[in-house]
Amino acid sequence: MIRRRELALRWLVALLLLVASLVAWRSVGLFGQSLLAETLIFALFAMSVDFLAGGAGLMSLGQAMYFGLGAYVTAVLTTLWDMGALATVPIAMALAAMLALAIGSVIVRFGEIIFIMLTLAAGEMLYAYIFANRVVGGSDGISGVPRADLTFLGLNLNSGPIFSIVVLVVTFVAFVVFDGLLRSPFGLILNAVRQNPSRARALGAGINGLRTAAYMISSAVAALAGSLLAQLNHYASPDLAAWDLSGLVLIMAIFGGLGSLSGAALGATIIQLLSHFTSRYTSHWGLALGVIFIVVVLYADGGLFALLSNEANRLTAAWRGEKC
């Protein structure tokens, strides 16, 4: 059961990130808008991974497969088939969900270690196919990806500030949806499956079906994030489906705190900004991130969210003690 204090902290972190994003949106220039949008997209991707790992207990090293799939569906349909980018987004999400259903209905039956290895293998198969397929640009990728046309709403997404604020809205709506799912009967049963699969099975829970559904939802949102990144950069490359990106986003979720949603978004934000600013001064920025990640894991196995939760509990206890 999700404790009220943890739920309140989840929303507090989310609202603080929302306010910080709005402040950045009002104050940064053109490059800052691009960095803001990219950071928000990775926050969205990290929340989808957190929903799967923290909500269902399934660690995947293949979620970049769906991220890359979303990017390439938008890139191919817009550049080769002249379809509007807006129409490609639900198509990308639907294809990702169907692929996740086909793969997940098989691999969720195995143990967690085998699940990790099979998702890694599936992701590398898609990466190898994209990399070698000249129809979709091969190793060069696809450039010239247009952004969605929202002029019927009075929004020009070719404007950096407009695109970044739309991405902010999409990311926050995704947080609200994920939060609602985790607090729904579906999410509570999923949490029971994560904590004790044997007991949940004995109580009649359809473990494989629940895990497959969570895998499908996570994959569809990952495809949404991939489509947004392709539109942001006007480009899709095979690197978006590589396993190291899956590992990086999983680290973002662990760094922020599995099962917290907003913690995963916080972890993604910090890692994205650190990688950007430290890379200005050294080519070994990954080393700096690694040291920070190790320190956080050593002192808070629940990530940054656990640190914040412990500090909030300490302050609450101190306040109650003074009051008494």
- Strand, helix or coil at 57? coil
Predicted confidence band of residue 122 (pLDDT cuts 50, 70, 90): very high
Query: Quick check: pTM over 0.85?
Result: yes
- How far is the CA of 121 from the CAs of 8, 64, 117, in angstroms? 38, 12, 6
- Identify whether 122 is part of a domain: yes
Whether the per-residue pLDDT at 67 is higher than 90: the answer is: yes
User: Does residue 85 sit within a domain?
Assistant: yes
Query: Comparing 169 with 113, which gets the higher pLDDT?
Result: 169
Does some domain include residue 314?
A: no
Question: What residues contact 303, with CB distance under 8 A and at least 6 apart?
Answer: 254, 255, 256, 257, 258, 260, 263, 267, 296, 297
**For the stretch 278-290, what's the b/e string if a residue is b when 16 or more beta carbons lie within 10 angstroms of its beta carbon?**
beeeeeebeeebe
Query: How many folded domains does the chain comprise?
Result: 1
Neighbour-count burial of 142, counting CB atoms closer than 10 A to its CB (0-12 exposed, 13-18 middle, 19+ buried): buried
SS3 258: coil
Q: Is residue 223 part of a domain?
A: yes
pLDDT at residue 1, rounded to an integer: 45
Q: Is residue 121 part of a domain?
A: yes
Residue 293 has pLDDT above 90, yes or no: no
For the ranges 28-32, 136-140, 213-217, the maximum mean pLDDT occurs at: 213-217
pLDDT per position as a tens digit, 47-66: 999 999 999 999 999 999 99
In three-state secondary structure terms, 133 is coil
Burial profile 10-32: b = 16 or more Cβ within 10 angstroms, e = fewer? beebbeebbeebeebbeebeeee
pLDDT at 2: 55
Residue 157 maps to a domain: yes
Read off the pLDDT of residues 162-202 as tens digits, 9 standing for 90 and up: 999 999 999 999 999 999 999 999 999 999 888 888 888 88
Assigned token pair, 236: 């899709």
Q: Does residue 287 lie within any of the structural domains? A: no
CA distances to 4, 202, 263, 300 from 314, in Å: 16, 38, 19, 15
Query: What mean pLDDT is predicted for residues 197-220?
Result: 90
pLDDT at 321: 67
pLDDT band of residue 323 (cuts 50, 70, 90) is: low
Whole domain around residue 200: which residue ranges? Answer: 4-241
User: What pLDDT was estimated at residue 268?
Assistant: 95
Of 98, 94, 119, 96, the residue nearest 108 (C-alpha): 119
Give me the chain's average pLDDT, please: 91
Residue 294 pLDDT grade (very low, low, confident, very high; cuts 50, 70, 90)? confident
Higher pLDDT, 287 or 125: 125
Does 79 fall in a domain?
A: yes
